[in-house]
């Protein structure tokens, strides 16, 4: 079989609900590599949120921040930071609405408020063992690749109307990812596959959530997790079992890779 590349989302996909890796998933990843295929990650997470996963699975190619920070074999090949003036406008509106904001670069993160229950609750679900320190000016004079806006469902509409430079993608009842307009995991994946010369028909993707839709729609060989959102299932070619029920191994069999 010719070399394939397989992109895995993390939360709800490669990771089970305890944020761990099932034995069947670990074995499936090893089998893919043994066959000569490339295993990569495509996530909304910051790079420092999944370094331990990359080390555990020996993965050095990834799309992070929903396509805004892309690494191929350990080297950065594409970045797409947020517009600073628009980020200032976002911050001003968030302060007016008493909404917290977290600013994230490739190495660290900071919050515009010293403490927030919404930050603590939503980021706590990621089980990464860290919360942002307080620095309301962290976005000044540095590249910020993603922000997190902490607001209730529907409250992001006011930001969407004002800030055309950004897209807002909800990942938690209290939080949305703020990414460059038009950015996506699928576009980030393209930066990798173009350099590797791997055509679309030899690309595969696994996902479960709203930030996976363009990836699942754009890559014909796509797999949605059985535990994922209906929108993800509608976008994918195959639907596997849940992330807790050997969904990765089963999905790779559905796709003919194992």
Q: What is the pLDDT of residue 130?
A: 93
Query: Model confidence over 60-114: pLDDT tens digits?
Result: 999 999 999 999 999 999 999 999 999 999 999 999 999 999 999 999 999 999 9
Which of 180, 197, 231 represents a domain boundary (last residue)? 180
Residue 145's SS3 state is: coil
Alpha helices, DSSP H only, in 70-210? 84-97, 117-124, 157-162, 185-196
Structure tokens at 63: 């799309």
Same domain membership, residue 134 and residue 96: yes
141 labelled catalytic? no
Same domain membership, residue 49 and residue 161: no
Q: What is the pLDDT of residue 8?
A: 98
Let me know how many helices (H) and strands (E) the chain has, helices first.
9, 14
Per the CB < 8 A criterion, the answer to whether 69 and 143 are in contact is no
Q: What is the pLDDT of residue 1?
A: 74
Same domain membership, residue 225 and residue 102: no
Q: What is the pLDDT of residue 52?
A: 95
Same domain membership, residue 102 and residue 61: no
Query: Model confidence over 161-186: pLDDT tens digits?
Result: 999 999 998 999 999 999 999 999 99
Domains held by the chain: number: 2
Query: Is the predicted pLDDT of residue 145 greater than 90, yes or no?
Result: yes
Q: How many CB atoms lie within 10 A of CB 164?
A: 9
Same domain membership, residue 141 and residue 123: yes
Looking up residue 90, the CATH number of its domain turns out to be 3.30.1240.10
Measured in whole angstroms, how far is the alpha carbon of residue 158 from the centre of its chain? 24
Quote the mean pLDDT of the chain: 96
Query: Is the predicted pLDDT of residue 230 greater than 80, yes or no?
Result: yes
Alpha helices, DSSP H only, in 21-114? 23-34, 51-57, 84-97
Same domain membership, residue 137 and residue 14: no
Per the CB < 8 A criterion, the answer to whether 145 and 79 are in contact is yes
Same domain membership, residue 191 and residue 176: no
Same domain membership, residue 149 and residue 209: no
Same domain membership, residue 122 and residue 192: no
Residue 239's SS3 state is: strand
Same domain membership, residue 174 and residue 49: no
* Residues making up the chain, counted from first to last: 258
Q: How many CB atoms lie within 10 A of CB 239?
A: 17
Same domain membership, residue 237 and residue 196: yes
Which of 158, 180, 202 represents a domain boundary (last residue)? 180
Query: Which of the residues 9, 105, 167, 246 is marked catalytic?
Result: 9
Query: Model confidence over 3-47: pLDDT tens digits?
Result: 999 999 999 999 999 999 999 999 999 999 999 999 999 999 999
Residue 16's SS3 state is: coil
Which of 180, 205, 222 represents a domain boundary (last residue)? 180
Query: Is the predicted pLDDT of residue 204 greater than 80, yes or no?
Result: yes
What is the residue range of 53's domain? 5-79+183-254
Looking up residue 22, the CATH number of its domain turns out to be 3.40.50.1000
Same domain membership, residue 164 and residue 131: yes
Task: Report the relative pairing of strands 175-180 and 166-172 from DSSP bridges.
Answer: antiparallel
């Amino acid at each position: 079989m010719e070399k394939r590349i397989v992109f895995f989302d993390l939360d709800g996909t490669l990771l089970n609900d305890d944020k761990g890796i099932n034995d069947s998933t670990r074995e499936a990843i090893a089998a893919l590599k043994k066959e000569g295929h490339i295993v990569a990650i495509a996530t909304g997470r910051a790079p420092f949120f999944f370094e331990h996963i990359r080390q555990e699975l020996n993965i050095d190619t990834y799309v992070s921040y929903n396509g805004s920070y892309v690494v191929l074999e350990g080297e950065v090949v594409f970045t797409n930071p947020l517009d600073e003036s628009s980020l200032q406008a976002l911050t001003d509106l968030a302060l007016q609405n008493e909404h917290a904001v977290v600013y994230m670069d490739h190495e660290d993160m900071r919050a515009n408020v010293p403490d927030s229950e919404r930050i603590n609750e939503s980021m706590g679900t990621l089980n990464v063992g860290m919360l942002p320190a307080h620095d309301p000016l962290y976005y000044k004079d540095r590249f910020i690749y993603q922000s997190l806006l902490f607001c209730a469902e529907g409250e992001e509409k006011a930001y969407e109307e004002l800030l055309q430079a950004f897209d807002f993608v909800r990942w938690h009842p209290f939080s949305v990812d703020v990414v460059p307009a038009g950015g996506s995991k699928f576009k980030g994946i393209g930066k990798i596959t173009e350099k590797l010369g791997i055509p679309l028909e030899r690309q595969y993707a696994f996902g479960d959530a709203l930030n996976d839709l363009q990836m699942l729609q754009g890559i014909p060989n796509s797999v949605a997790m059985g535990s994922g959102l209906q929108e993800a299932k509608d976008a994918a070619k195959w639907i596997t079992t849940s992330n807790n029920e050997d969904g990765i191994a089963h999905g790779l069999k559905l796709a003919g890779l194992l």
